[in-house]
Amino acid sequence: MALALLAGTPAVAQMPGGPPPAVGVVAARQEAITRSSEYIARIQATNRVNLVARVAAYLDEVLFTDGAEVRKGQLLYRLEQGPFQADVQAREASIEQFKAQLRNAEIVLQRAQTLLKTPAGQQATVDTALAAQDALKAQILGAEAQLQQAKINLGYTEIRAPIDGKIGRTAITAGNYVNPASGTLVSIVSQDPMYIVFPVSTRSVIELQQRAGGKAGALVIRVRLPDGRLYDQPGKLDFIDNSVTGNTDTMVLRGIVPNPRRLLVDGELVQAILQDVKPTEALAVPRAAVLADQQGDYVFVVGKDNKVEKRPVKLGQSTPALAAVTSGLSEGENVVVDGIQRVRPGLTVSPGPAAQQVQPPAGTIPQAAKP
């Protein structure tokens, strides 16, 4: 009686001698259902770089706008260059000095070798001149290495973007003294594509691998944004971790998703939907026909003589509109969809077509699939 009042239906519809209550039924039939599972996930940039100063100098210029997208090789910071340019010039002068000394040493060696052919020549003089020449050659090599290091340090005064991506907020402004111990100046994260990372129970991973048949391309990743919208760019699974996290018995899965419109943000919390590429045929009924109690899921079936039977069922992978039934129903049996609140087991009803015949297209994404 209470159910009848809540439904706005006169209680007399169920009184003995009254007309049978009208209900809407739908026949169980084979439907194309795309299996899917939904998990809590995070978006991660495929590349992340923290820029630091590699030499000690004053920061002369900051050449970017906080939060802008930058290109690989773009100049971001310019440090004070004067001392490093002077060091380069000093190293170049040192090399020229050693080269001049080497030319003189070569002349001395030639002279000593010429005198060696005469009674005035001595082998010791030749050996000394040869040693001096070799020493100067080594000094030139050392000076050239120092010059190379000086040029490298001069290059470090210009800090450029190593990747394409979105730059963050600068931590140090122009006029400050920076060095390698100053920490991160700014971070850059890549934008397209993005990773989506999510933990999955070991049992679910085994089921996913069986569904995929060992082919990673058999599963598609869809993303549900924090506002509930379904992201329009599908992704693909590209990584399954090689170990299980002991305290949670989960494995980390990762997919890669295009991000041309920059809707996905590094660190964003989203929902990852793993969906089969091809739908599978399954016996299905409208989701609204399935009820549940302490014994499990069940439906009301209208059988012979239009009598209602409570039928326990087992459900498979379902969608918000359709429930896939793995056992408990046969194809063609009529289940109650409209007027469920007016029926009970053994009651005679007046069945008719349900007001809405649910026929969603293949590929429908569930709102909250079970992992």
> Structural domains in the chain?
2-33+280-353 (2.40.420.20), 37-46+192-276 (2.40.30.170), 50-75+160-189 (2.40.50.100), 81-156 (1.10.287)
The answer on pLDDT for 299 being more than 50 is yes
109 vs 318, residue with greater confidence: 109
Q: Could you tell me where the DSSP H helices lie in the chain?
A: 2-6, 82-115, 123-155, 202-212
In this prediction, residue 17 carries a pLDDT of: 58
pLDDT digits (tens, 9 = 90+) for 172-181: 999 999 999 9
What are 366's two structure tokens? 């569930």
Among 31, 30, 28, CA closest to 333: 28
In whole angstroms, give the CA distance from residue 162 to residue 368: 40
Contact yes or no for 322/36 (Cβ under 8 A) = no
Name residues whose C-beta falls within 8 Å of residue 335's C-beta, 6 or more positions apart in sequence.
25, 26, 27, 28, 285, 286, 289, 299, 300, 301, 302, 311, 329
Confidence of residue 370 (pLDDT cuts 50, 70, 90): very low
185 forms bridges with which residues in the sheet? Answer: none
78 forms bridges with which residues in the sheet? Answer: 61, 158
pLDDT digits (tens, 9 = 90+) for 4-58: 444 444 443 445 556 888 888 888 888 877 777 788 999 999 999 999 999 999 9
pLDDT digits (tens, 9 = 90+) for 83-98: 999 999 999 999 999 9
In whole angstroms, give the CA distance from residue 363 to residue 237: 18
In this prediction, residue 366 carries a pLDDT of: 43
352 forms bridges with which residues in the sheet? Answer: 24
| SS3 state at 224 | strand
**DSSP, residue by residue, 214-278:** T-GGGEEEEEE-TTSPBPSS-EEEEEE-SS-BTTTTEEEEEEEE--TT--S-TT-EEEEEEEESS
| pTM, to two decimals | 0.65
Confidence of residue 285 (pLDDT cuts 50, 70, 90): confident
370 vs 289, residue with greater confidence: 289
As a whole number, the mean pLDDT across the chain is 84
What are 308's two structure tokens? 């209602």
pLDDT digits (tens, 9 = 90+) for 118-156: 877 688 888 888 898 899 999 999 999 999 999 999 999
